Amino acid sequence: MSGDEFKVEKYKGIDEKRLDEILSNLSKVKAALIGDICLDIYWKADMTKSELSRETPHFPLPVVEEWMSPGAGGNAAANIASLKPAGIYLIGVVGKDWRGEALIRELDRRNIDTGGIITGSKWITNAYCKPYRRGISDVEYEDPRIDFSNYQPLCREDEEKLVRLLEQTAGQLDVLCVSDQMQYGCITPTVRNKIIALAKQGLLVVADSRSRIGLYTDVVLKPNEIEGYRAVYTEGDPRKTTFKEQLSAAKTLADRNNARVCMTLGSNGCIYAGEGTTVHVPSYCVKPPIDICGAGDTFLSAFSCALAVGARGYEAASFANIASDVTIKKIGITGTASSEEIKARHGEIFSALYATK
């Protein structure tokens, strides 16, 4: 199969033997993640317990349940940890606040090495607070999220600490993941330049960035279809792109940035451009209910670890698609996918495929 501008192959999916080879080698991987880490906070309110405030004309949200988990780059690190590698080292910044303390506790609980997390002198811990309310019926309603974010650049002192941590760690790694999510995050131009320099020296680097993916060169890029399109084109609506335009964006980004590109396409799988080929890797049907929150973090983690054990790009993409299938079935939490869950999901997929033949 081919597009008008370049040949496009279609990969049916990773087979059981190759899957087992990847899974069996994950325990050897030494990984690190640098980037914007966040605390996800969930509050469940029972509105049948709410009473009109005496001071204001409002019914408060009576919280009856609370739980927390790592978010953004923290969730990506948790996904790596769930694959039980030889080590996962997290490099990032928290603030001197209760959210930072809670985030580090949650990361420690997941066996993530938090020795690379610094406490910023002028930083606050990123947090996404998600209130849910329920009344008499089973209908649950999610209120607007309450966010804690930074609105000024990382100070020079903390930036220098991150660069030193990268320099000290790089030689011990099989793969470095980058989670560049926040407008004012810890991946500053200086930090990004150091990441690129390490990649040029031979370190396997996989970068995920919400708005700056086009600034990374000489690494493996993991944008979604909107991020990838915006990195290449200044006109057009990235939400309404055709498959041909998505292919063009992925190939152009790879060529321009001297990079391999794995561009995710939601339910349409992903496009891998690199290693002398461009491949469409389809995804598989997942029955609702689903929750896509955190699916990109899962993909980044599984894709990166598979590359680190020698998988070809399209094999790693198929592996990551299956891992994402696992997490989107975990409702109301930014979940993770273990090796056992990935193996089970792979079995479901191919059992269904064989049943239709």
119 within domain boundaries: yes
Residue written as token pair 């993909």: 299
308 within domain boundaries: yes
Give me the number of domains the chain comprises.
Answer: 1
What integer pLDDT is reported at residue 145 of this predicted model?
96
52 within domain boundaries: no
What integer pLDDT is reported at residue 290 of this predicted model?
84
19 within domain boundaries: yes
49 within domain boundaries: no
pTM: 0.93
Which residue spans within 85-222 are E strands per DSSP?
87-94, 113-119, 126-134, 140-142, 146-148, 175-180, 205-209, 220-221
What integer pLDDT is reported at residue 334 of this predicted model?
75
260 within domain boundaries: yes
- Which is it for strands 277-281 and 270-274: parallel, antiparallel or unpaired? antiparallel
Q: Could you give the 3-state DSSP secondary structure of residue 3?
A: coil
Q: 42-71, pLDDT tens digit by residue?
A: 999 999 999 999 999 999 999 999 999 999
CATH of the domain at 309: 3.40.1190.20
238 within domain boundaries: yes
The parent domain of residue 88 ranges over: 9-37+72-125+151-355
349 within domain boundaries: yes
Residues of the chain with pLDDT below 70 are: 1-6, 351-357
Q: Could you give the 3-state DSSP secondary structure of residue 301?
A: helix
